[in-house]
Amino acid sequence: MAFPDLIQTPTYQQALRTPDVISRAPASRWAVREPYLLPSYQIREAGFRLDHLMRNALDPNRNPEWPPLWRCSAIKAFIEIVEAKLSSTEFTNADEVHAFIDPRLDLAREIIRRMDDALVKEGYPPISSDGFRQDVAVHGTRVGVRIEDLVFENPLQQIEENGYGPSSTATKQHHELHIAMRAYWS
């Protein structure tokens, strides 16, 4: 089993309790009554999605030896995008935001650090966010979804609600995005 000590951390244990993220309302819907808190809600939603990425990556039943590189690529992308938002945004409740997201980012960074060490030791390049970014670009650009939308909002919730079929407003491209992204968060 890879990283059993990380599985025992309070942050990972909290991630196990995070509810389904695909059907959650987007951050912008949470902030309707408090628009000034939108960036805080976006960080919260990103943290919940990061919880799912980390718990799926470290799940010994799914990955008995090593976290899959494609999930690690998504974790790396989340780290990069969330850190960029944290450094460029003023939060009215900065202490709460950091108390929520910092432990998640610390665990995510540690997963990536350990994977990088193992890969480099075997002669492979370190984890890159390029794989996840490419997956989002291939499936998301056809329906106008950017990577930031997937990190901070939840365009998948509407697709989940609408389903796919003759009476649905979701297109085949929406359905393909939904399936591709469900692999990361299911």
**Are the beta carbons of 22 and 185 closer than 8 angstroms?**
yes
Closest CA to 6 of 49, 66, 46: 66
Residue range 76-132, pLDDT digits in tens: 999 999 999 999 999 999 999 999 999 999 999 999 999 999 999 999 999 999 999
pTM of the model: 0.92
How confident is the model at residue 169, as a pLDDT? 60
